């Protein structure tokens, strides 16, 4: 009920980003590691997503999945199925999935041309 003593708040406008047909690449080293992770079961897919958080605003989320409830597009690269959620497509178009060996163990690294900045650990971006 409006008592007419308070200002009416302005409507909140939510801009939904456009869905982009994602193009991405996977380095040779990352393909080797994915082959090891997938084994002989190429029915699984690599889900590459983005979560809110991290020290720069967004964090990458990589999972091996059989399926997902998310609205995704599928990219096939050398027999690998890569799923990218449409809601994150504008953030992930043009990425390169790499694997790097580190002193304390290796891990996947995303090289993202869309990132304005990223943190020192390379796991989050803005």
- Going along the chain from its start, the domains and CATH numbers come out as 25-125 (2.60.300.12)
* pLDDT for 2: 58
112 close to 94: Cβ distance less than 8 angstroms:
yes
Task: Report phi then psi at 31, rounded to 5.
Answer: -65, -40
Per-block mean pLDDT, blocks of 10 residues, the chain (126 long): 69 80 95 89 90 78 91 93 94 93 83 75 56
* pLDDT for 13: 74
126 close to 112: Cβ distance less than 8 angstroms:
no
* pLDDT for 122: 53
Distance CA 50, CA 52 (A): 7
* pLDDT for 125: 61
3-state secondary structure of 32: helix
Q: With 0-12 CB in 10 A as exposed, 13-18 as middle and 19+ as buried, what is 33?
A: middle
Distance CA 114, CA 91 (A): 6
* pLDDT for 48: 95
């Amino acid at each position: 009920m409006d008592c007419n003593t308070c200002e009416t708040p302005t409507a909140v406008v939510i801009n939904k980003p456009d869905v982009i047909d994602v193009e991405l690449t996977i380095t040779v080293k990352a393909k080797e590691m994915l082959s090891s992770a997938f084994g002989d079961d190429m029915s699984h897919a690599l889900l590459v997503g983005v979560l809110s958080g991290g020290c720069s605003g967004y964090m990458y989320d990589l999972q091996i999945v059989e399926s997902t409830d998310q609205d995704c597009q599928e990219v096939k690269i050398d027999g690998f199925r890569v799923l990218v959620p449409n809601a994150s497509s504008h953030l992930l178009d043009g990425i390169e999935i790499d694997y790097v060996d580190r002193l304390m163990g290796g891990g996947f690294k995303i090289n993202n041309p869309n990132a304005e900045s990223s943190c020192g650990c390379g796991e989050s971006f803005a």
